[in-house]
A = this chain, B = another copy of it.
Amino acid sequence: MKTKGKATSFDIAHFAGVSQSTVSRALRNSPLVNEETRRKVWEIAKKLNYKVDKNASNLRTQQSATLAILLFEDPTGDESQINPFFLNMLGSITRACAKEGYDLLVSFQSISQDWRAEYEDSHRADGIILLGYGDYMDYQSRLQNLLAQDTKFVCWGAKVEGRPDLTVSCDNYGGGELAAQHFISSGKKQCVFIGDASEHSPEFLMRFKGFKDTLEQKSISLSERNIANAISTEESGYHATHSLLANNVKFDSLFAASDLIAIGAIKALKEAGLKIPEDVSVIGFDNIAAANYITPSLSTVQQNTTLAGQMLVSNLLALIKGEQITETLLPPKLIIRQSTS
């Protein structure tokens, strides 16, 4: 009964006394095949524990029912920790793929290194999802490259020059607005922003702009002194806040471009003997799990990762099918916890 190695459709054909073509059709429930033959074929297939060889099948059909995700790590050389926000995204993308019947190839890429998006070229995947806070200097030109090669891909967060329709992102500008509005309505007057307000981090820049513009509408200015640079790590947030305090910058409210930064900031504030939220209100961005666990718990702008994953996948699939897709902006939501109130 059990042949050596894996069973092939020829084995089934042999046992069923039909041709291999018929087996192939029967297994894919083609209407061309007789009901009884179909049942017999299925039965034998099950008995032999037969599974279609995806390589052969994909080779013939020229598609893979697989998507690839390239996860760009934060520019820290830090070996152990991955931004939990992206892990959440990874989880929701995996789920979305499963729902659509696609497999998912995962790959981590160091931004600094030469990254390879050859999954599609090599027919491993039908399309690619790019995920990461990018440092876009070199990145942008590579995206152009992908476009030129007609590779199907969608990006999280990062705008693609000239092709905004390939982007799924949270409304970062709107998120910045929410933070500012909350500070304004609680009577805060002296705000600071911590993050990278440059083109290197498009998302951070948008958050900053939404924050700043809204404040300025209420005549609250955000001077250079009130902006501290940080990348998305706890240490970086800690140091940035530390230097603000060291420079004697006065502030009653702090908006961090990400939760990790905010967590570092809170640590620095506590160490300086400042009370949160009495002395300083703090708002982060992402709503990672830790935001709920720290003391005080962190108010933050939540990104809907479940929806984001679904949109990335469905947009990519539409793109693969050749459909037009439009840029997707997901609404952010302010979660109020103890760090403001």
Contacts and interface: CB of A to CB of B under 8 A. Distances in A.
Interface in A59-103: 59, 64, 66, 71, 79-82, 84, 87-88, 90-91, 94-95, 98, 103
Contacts of A49: 121, 149
A51 B263 contact: no
A266 to B, nearest CB: 10
A33 interface: no
Contacts of A124: 54-55, 103
Copies of the protein in its oligomer: 2
A4 to B, nearest CB: 10
B108 A106 contact: no
A324 interface: no
Contact of A123 (B55, B107, B123): B55
A272 interface: no
A305 B80 CA distance: 9
Contact of A87 (B91, B103, B104, B290): B91
Interface string A251-294: 00000000000010000000000000000000000000110011
Contact of A64 (B55, B56, B90): B55
Contact of A84 (B64, B80, B87): B87
A118 interface: yes
A6 interface: yes
A34 interface: no
B103 A104 contact: no
Contacts of A6: 121, 123
A108 B87 CA distance: 14
A144 interface: no
Contacts of A243: none
B289 A84 contact: yes
Interface string A301-329: 00001100000000000000000000000
Interface in A143-178: 149
Given A54-B122, A98-B108, 20 more contacts: A6-B121, A49-B149, A53-B59, A53-B122, A53-B123, A54-B124, A55-B124, A71-B94, A80-B306, A81-B289, A87-B88, A103-B107, A103-B124, A104-B105, A105-B105, A105-B106, A106-B106, A289-B290, A290-B290, A295-B295
3 closest Cβ pairs, A-B complex: A295-B295, A51-B121, A55-B59
Interface of A: 6, 49, 51-56, 58-59, 64, 66, 71, 79-82, 84, 87-88, 90-91, 94-95, 98, 103-108, 118, 121-124, 149, 263, 289-290, 293-295, 305-306
